[in-house]
Amino acid sequence: MAKPPVMQDWPGLIEAYRSWLPVSSTTPVITLKEGATPLIPVNSIAERLGRGVKVYVKYDGLNPTGSFKDRGMTMAISKAKEAGCEAVICASTGNTSASASAYALRGGMRAFVLIPDGYVAQGKLAQALVYGAEVLAIRGNFDRALDIVQEIAKKYPITLVNSVNPYRLEGQKTAAFEIVDALGEAPDWLCIPMGNAGNITAYWMGFQEYKKAGNCQNLPKMMGFQASGSAPLVFNTTVKEPDTIATAIRIGNPVNREKAMAIKSSGNGEFLDVTDSEIIEAYKILGQEEGIFCEPASAASIAGLLKRKAEVPENSKIVCVLTGNGLKDPDCAINNNDASFHTNLDPDIQTVAQAMGL
């Protein structure tokens, strides 16, 4: 009998893609076995598009801390460790802080995380606290927090692990490798939410490197989506007071703006905004029709695809990136669902049966 694949064989993405990454035999590898996330067909979305289109989600919410950030963080923290660093810092809308806290802990480093007070989803805040980071909540938004941590990292011996750290993007590009390795080719479209635009930049790097090496013949069209209230890349502006239910991408002045704009001006990218209600509609479709729970920022990739429905090429293959796990933001889930939730029931059979409609 054939031996089933054993997940324990997966060594984490640095070992899996070592030759594609800036590591040497002496780099200490700090890993939680991130990567190797599933590419799941989502027929409910494909059916809405019709014309033979195949749609998959890259469910990166299944990484060890529940978001794609772990791909970048295994690299950033391993390289920080290699350089002898003892502390790291980041600004975050939540996921970067969760990931940095976990990986810094494993690497024996202190983690300082700056977050916008009141605008980080509960699950993410809980993670940073559980992993023992020093959490600094400011009365200001993410953009302000990023300005502050950049200054602190210049002045003090603390390594910045936001996506301005080039090792973050190196790690994150492996998601593009995994997609090509799974499909045997690049998808026709890659749909992805954008905040600071680090991830879209990393995917683009990954696809280009694989194409250059002959691992795929084509490059996907990069479809980047932002929430309407926080869409500086779509409208080519800076948003002073960004606003959206998708707090992960509540960013008004993306630090990777130029890299994102280069993708767009190369003719390989298209950016579009999606409203909060379009995001929530997509979020609900994934939950109710696919059994896939992502966070609202991630659902922007599906919302954008549905909005661009008319332009989808016939018989194409599309991958939407689900960047974060739905469990990160329980408040959003509880406030945005169509479930029948009967509360305060008397604890007897008759009441329960009646509530069940029996």
Q: List contacts with ligand F0G (CB under 6 A).
A: 67, 69, 92-96, 163, 193-199, 248-249, 295, 297-298, 323-324
**Min CB(350)–ligand F0G separation in Å:** 44
**Min CB(52)–ligand F0G separation in Å:** 29
Q: In whole angstroms, what is the distance from residue 3 CA to residue 214 CA?
A: 31
Tokens of 22: 């800036």
331 Cβ partners below 8 Å, 6+ apart? 121, 122
Tokens of 212: 């250059």
Nearer to ligand F0G, 175 or 194 (CB): 194
Nearer to ligand F0G, 53 or 298 (CB): 298
Nearer to ligand F0G, 29 or 200 (CB): 200
Nearer to ligand F0G, 54 or 307 (CB): 307
Closest CA to 97 of 74, 113, 78: 113
Q: In whole angstroms, what is the distance from residue 233 CA to residue 145 CA?
A: 19
Nearer to ligand F0G, 53 or 176 (CB): 176
Q: In whole angstroms, what is the distance from residue 208 CA to residue 214 CA?
A: 10
**Min CB(358)–ligand F0G separation in Å:** 41
**Min CB(301)–ligand F0G separation in Å:** 9
Closest CA to 93 of 74, 121, 67: 121
CA atoms within 13 A on the CB side of 162: 28
**Min CB(175)–ligand F0G separation in Å:** 11
**Min CB(64)–ligand F0G separation in Å:** 15
Q: In whole angstroms, what is the distance from residue 244 CA to residue 36 CA?
A: 30
Nearer to ligand F0G, 179 or 297 (CB): 297
Q: In whole angstroms, what is the distance from residue 36 CA to residue 34 CA?
A: 7
